[in-house]
Every structure is written in structure tokens, then in C-alpha cells.
A and B are shown apart, each in its own frame.
Chain A
Amino acid sequence: DIQLTQSPSFLSAFVGDRVTITCRASQGISSYLAWYQQKPGKAPKVLIYAASALKSGVPSRFSGSTSGTEFTLTISSLHPEDFATYYCQQLNSYPRTFGQGTKVEIK
């Protein structure tokens, strides 16, 4: 199984901060990586797919990038509604796997 290691697990930030979350895959997954945002009591919502493609309707402050087996989600300027938990997911092979999540809280 492909393991995804997200870091950090938790981060505290101010509104307006630039935030970066990293996801490292245990083996090559090409660009088959998606990022999701989940708020309490809700289903996850896709933000980025194919490592760097912005889902239609998602604000442009969200972006994704990749370098080898390391993937990054960046929020350029944190908005109040961005405080949530973020997950990466690999869709290169079965079984599909998720990172353990990064909780973004207000400082």
C-alpha cells in the first residue's frame, strides 16, 4: 500500500497568513494526488486534483504543487472560512489512501 505522510498534523495561523501543508508519498504516484478540505460534521470537499489542478469554484488562494513524491498545498492568504482539516489522497493505485490530515486552527 502507498503511505502518505502529511505534515504538520496541526498548525495554528492568523487570518491573512500564508500556509503550506506537505504530503509525502512512500513511492511514486505521478500526479495522482488530490487535496480535500473537511469541516466538522461535513463530508470532505475536493480542492485540488491531479496535484495542481484547481477544482472549479474553489478560490484561487488555494494551489497545489509537486516535486517528485512530495506534494504541497498552499493557501496564499488564510480566510476565516479556511479553518478546517485538510487531507491528501493518492489515486494512483489501489487501495486508495489518505494522509492523516492537517488541522488548521485560528491563532
Chain B
Amino acid sequence: QVQLQESGPGLVKPSQTLSLTCAVSGASLSRPGYYWSWIRQHPGKGLEWIGGIYHSGTTYYSSSLKSRVNISLDTSKSQFSLKLTSVTAADTAVYFCAREVMAGDSSQFDYWGQGTLVSVSS
């Protein structure tokens, strides 16, 4: 069974870097056909896709966040990570990691982590 689990600090100071890791079990990060994404949700608001990474290391990012985001993959540890620099209170949100499965002419985010709340405050 595929499981994703986010981990990282729940509190980050303004101007610092938010760092989160998603540990994946039951699936191989080096297998083609999967895309590993980060999504966030501001309190009481909708879902915002942050970016993601393929098994090859190719990344895509949100247009509004791409200047501050880096996503990386560590297949040896079966995890992928998010770094968001120069955070402000506007980055306070629940952060989810998720797997996108691509099969033929369809895609879906089929497995999600439970989400982790990150607050930005001094």
C-alpha cells in the first residue's frame, strides 16, 4: 500500500526557509509514470499546487512561487523535499505531498499525505 508522510518544522520565522520532506512507502520514486507534487492550502481556503518532480529529476513549479521554490528527490531514502525561501505570513498553510499517476491519456493525484501545518511567525 502506498503511503506518503510529510515531516518538518511546524513553525518557521519570517524571511527564513521552509523545508519539508515527504517520505514515500509502497512505491518507487525512480519508476517512470509518476510525478511527485507538493500542494498547499491556506487556512479556510482552496488548494494551491506548488510544484513537482519526475523520477528523472525534471521539475515544474507554480508561476507565482517559482522564484522561491526548489523540489528535490532522494531515491535512496525514498523521499522528496520542498524548500521555500524568504517566507512570510502568507506562506502559513497546510502543506500536502501527493503522487500523480500518469496512465495512457489520463492523470490523477491518487495518493496524498495527511498534510502538515506550517506557520510563519516570529
Residues of A at the B interface (CB closer than 8 Å) are 1, 30-32, 34, 36, 38, 42-46, 49-50, 53, 55, 87, 89, 91, 94-101
Residues of B within 8 A of A1 (CB): 63
Residues of B at the A interface (CB closer than 8 Å) are 37, 46-49, 51-52, 60-63, 96, 98, 100, 105-110, 112-115
**Pair A87/B62 contact, Cβ less than 8 Å:** no
Residues of A within 8 A of B112 (CB): 43-45
Residues of A within 8 A of B114 (CB): 42-43
B contacts with A: majority SS: strand
**Pair A46/B115 contact, Cβ less than 8 Å:** no
Task: Give the contacting residue for B96; candidates A34, A43, A46, A55; CB below 8 A.
Answer: A43
**Pair A34/B49 contact, Cβ less than 8 Å:** no
What's the Cα separation between A87 and B122 when bound, in Å? 33
Q: How far is the CB of B122 from chain A (nearest CB, A)?
A: 27
Given contacts A43-B114, A45-B112, A91-B106, 12 further A-B contacts (CB under 8 A): A31-B105, A31-B106, A34-B107, A36-B47, A43-B113, A44-B96, A55-B108, A87-B47, A89-B109, A91-B100, A95-B63, A98-B48
